Amino acid sequence: MAGTFFKRAKGDSSFKRLLINLILIVACAAALYPVLRVITVSLRPSGSVFSMDLSLIPPDATLASYQSILFDPKVGFWTWIGNSLMVSVITAMVALILAAPAAYAFSRFKFAGKQPGLIFLLVTQFFPATMLLLPLYMMLIQLSLINNFWGLILCYMSIALPFSIWILKGYFDTIPNDLEEAAYIDGTTPLGAFFRVILPLSTPALSITALFSFMTAWSEFIIARVVLQKQALFTWPLGTVTLQGAYYTNWGPFSAAAVLISIPVVILFLLTSKYLVSGLTLGAVKG
């Protein structure tokens, strides 16, 4: 279908095509430029971080900032990455394990409170960050879970779980019922059908949902700042911000850390953004 649509574009005059390409190149440059600047700053030697130079690769480029981030034990980069990985992986896994069965119930059953439940899941998206963070913060104080990864994971669960249920429900809705009915005829129970028919079919949706929860937790700063106050527990967003504070806008190491952290996330994101978007709209449109 897309192919035939493109044929229409062949009617564009060559001037129009040139203009379109020009506009897109300018837009790409605008999208890319700040990113390139971070790489530039990360390559500067520490003496010339406050440089007025605009060239993209500084003439005196060095990897010193990367070296100090990666190997200087005072910086603690690997601790931050380890902490972030632990929090994000647990958040993503727990959210997925809890969300998948609930999403299946929302997709296939007509239980009491189904419609209000779905609307409530949607309404959680309207909460300003402080709406839940403030009470959660007080709960964590009382449970002495401040400065504790489980406390942070609990906070992230309040974001990741409703969203995961919503996305997975939208996906399960697209799987035809016939498949389960065939499984019933073969003597499977509804629970068996869920585990042996639906879950294996949903592997892409499940991994996208997990990835989404992972990325939410991975880059989160505002909640982590409130829950984790001990340096040793810092996740990378907290760590990189102190990096800036401690050396007073020492942009070299900060930029190096930013580049190192962004590369894997950006690659993951670019590979999966298509599926993520279809998941988002699926959930929203079907609602």
Q: Is 278 in the site for other proteins (CB under 8 A)?
A: yes
What is the 3 state secondary structure string of 106-174? Answer: HHHCCCCCHHHHHHHHHHHHHCCHHHHHHHHHHHHHHCCCCCCHHHHHHHHHHHHHHHHHHHHHHHHHH
Q: Please identify, using beta-carbon distances, which residue of 73 and 270 lies nearer to other proteins.
A: 270
Q: Is 198 in the site for other proteins (CB under 8 A)?
A: no
Q: Which stretch binds other proteins (CB under 8 A): 61-69, 85-93, 94-102, 195-203?
A: 94-102
Applying the rule CB under 8 A, the residues between 39 and 58 that interact with other proteins are: 41, 50-52, 54
Number of residues that bind other proteins (CB under 8 A): 102
Q: Is 105 in the site for other proteins (CB under 8 A)?
A: yes
Q: Please identify, using beta-carbon distances, which residue of 15 and 126 lies nearer to other proteins.
A: 126
CB of 8 to other proteins, least distance (A): 6
Residue 279: count other Cβ atoms within 10 Å of its Cβ: 21
d(CA 167, CA 182): 25
Q: Is 150 in the site for other proteins (CB under 8 A)?
A: no
Applying the rule CB under 8 A, the residues between 167 and 196 that interact with other proteins are: 177, 180-181, 190-191, 194
Q: What length is written for the chain? A: 287
Residue 200: count other Cβ atoms within 10 Å of its Cβ: 9
Q: Is 134 in the site for other proteins (CB under 8 A)?
A: yes
Q: Name the nearest CA neighbour of 256 among 50, 42, 21, 31.
A: 42
Torsion of the alpha carbons at 110, 115, 120 and 123, rounded to the nearest 10: 140
Q: Is 234 in the site for other proteins (CB under 8 A)?
A: no
Applying the rule CB under 8 A, the residues between 239 and 268 that interact with other proteins are: 240-241, 244, 249, 251, 254-255, 258, 261-262, 265-266
